[in-house]
Copies of this chain bind each other. A is one copy, B any other.
Amino acid sequence: MTIVMDTNNVENQAIEAKKAARKLSALSNEEKNEALEILAKELENNYEVILEANKVDLKNGEAQGFDSALMDRLALTKDRIYDFANGLREVALLEDPTGKINTSWVLDNGLKVEQVTVPLGVIGMIYEARPNVTVDATGLALKSGNAIVLKGGSNAISSNQKIVQVMHSALEKTKIPKEAVQFIASTDREATKQLFTMKEHIDVLIPRGGASLINAVVNNATVPVLETGVGNCHLYIDEKADVNKAMSILINAKTDRPAVCNAAETLLVHRSWFNSNKETLAKTLQDHEIKVFGDETVVKTLAGAVQATEKDWAEEYLNLSIAIRVVESVDQAVDHIDRYGTKHSEAIITEDAQAAKTFMSQVDAAAIYHNASTRFTDGGALGFGAEIGISTQKLHARGPMGLPALTTIKYLMSGNGQIR
């Protein structure tokens, strides 16, 4: 693997990827699966050199004073590398999303029309610290017949580079051209920016990471973007909510994994339910050491609650804090979500079927829950197999994105001289 030092090479890499994509799209499911198995085996066989490379990133991270969460995301172990390999094997077991005839018909003039699924072409993956994305995204891209251009974070550059080197050697033993996997080794920001506008060579950009990375891509890219991730998720406890369900779902949605995108960030509570159940709510929050930022009523009622600001309603905490607002009706809850939600996952707790129906039809989000935790918005939990991310946009793919999100369609028309 050549280390790329100037941005002209980024364009060359994208062109190489596009050429490889054409070859890759002609391979059979079996050929792609064989390649994934070889990739898996070679990652396992080379775990030691990958761990060596990982040490460089960890040392840099320490020197830069990264916090323990970031260090943990960066750190590789033999087990983690074997998990990457098994992830590739799981992807191989999934159905090939390409080459399917969705629908076909014959026009009156005899022209036969088929709508078939095909790979998108070249995927540009822009992501932050976790080196697992390098393997996971490559596996999903190759399985769906797509080439991939990887631009990982500078914190994991040494690990990512070694992983790609191992994968390139492995690909030489397969039918997949190794040019189908491109790694932008430059840590120059200009290199990332170049990816934003390479419409000729890259078919879609997928950013994976924090809000600022995602916004940078969305705001600057002319290449179409599959927006993922930010989840400012709400739980609405309705007037007729069952107390036990409400408390169990609140605790699960807030505390199970507070740093993930499908965790709850704001609790909206109907005033009459709040008045009847404030002691239970207060005790539950206290027992789980949840820090509360609330509106006026909440601050007056719940001991230790701090006055919420606009930022509390608008942003994810990703920790054990929650914003709480008392509302007068399901409509007011929907209005609040309309204003502050990120269209990810929203839940209503109620025994009132009509209120549930209103909430589910009026809230604009990828996933809307009645009497269940927002934590189920996840490709694995929903049975999609591996996921490339959770889309918070409305075009192309919404919610957890499995392999079909990495395909598009073609219309194939077969005739014998038809003209219009």
Determine the chain B residues whose CB is within 8 A of the CB of A224 once the complex forms: 224-225, 393-395
Task: Using CB atoms, name the residue of chain B closest to A369.
Answer: B413
* B408 & A395 in contact (Cβ 8 Å cutoff): yes
* B382 & A113 in contact (Cβ 8 Å cutoff): yes
A256 within 8 A of B: yes
* A248 & B417 in contact (Cβ 8 Å cutoff): yes
Task: Using CB atoms, name the residue of chain B closest to A256.
Answer: B420
Determine the chain B residues whose CB is within 8 A of the CB of A96 once the complex forms: none
Of the listed stretches A38-46, A76-84, A371-379, chain B binds A371-379
A419 within 8 A of B: yes
* A411 & B366 in contact (Cβ 8 Å cutoff): yes
Task: Using CB atoms, name the residue of chain B closest to A219.
Answer: B222
Determine the chain B residues whose CB is within 8 A of the CB of A253 once the complex forms: 419
* A365 & B410 in contact (Cβ 8 Å cutoff): yes
Given contacts A26-B361, A204-B395, contact A420 B381 (CB under 8 A): yes
State the CA gap A372–B114 with chains docked (Å): 14
* B372 & A249 in contact (Cβ 8 Å cutoff): no
- A124-163: contact bitstring with B at CB < 8 Å (1 yes, 0 no)? 0000000000000000000000000000000000000000
Given contacts A224-B395, A393-B224, A394-B224, contact A366 B410 (CB under 8 A): yes
State the CA gap A356–B112 with chains docked (Å): 14
Task: Using CB atoms, name the residue of chain B closest to A215.
Answer: B222
Task: Using CB atoms, name the residue of chain B closest to A419.
Answer: B252
**Interfacial residues, chain A to chain B (CB-CB below 8 A):** 22, 25-26, 105, 107, 111, 113, 120-121, 199, 203-204, 218-219, 222, 224-226, 242, 244-245, 248-249, 251-253, 256, 338, 356, 360-362, 364-373, 375-377, 381-383, 393-396, 398-399, 408-420
For this complex, 26 residue pairs linking A to B, each with C-beta atoms less than 8 Å apart, are A22-B338, A22-B362, A26-B361, A105-B383, A107-B382, A203-B394, A204-B394, A224-B224, A224-B393, A224-B394, A242-B417, A356-B414, A367-B410, A367-B411, A369-B414, A371-B415, A372-B415, A372-B418, A375-B420, A376-B420, A381-B420, A382-B411, A394-B408, A396-B396, A398-B409, A398-B411
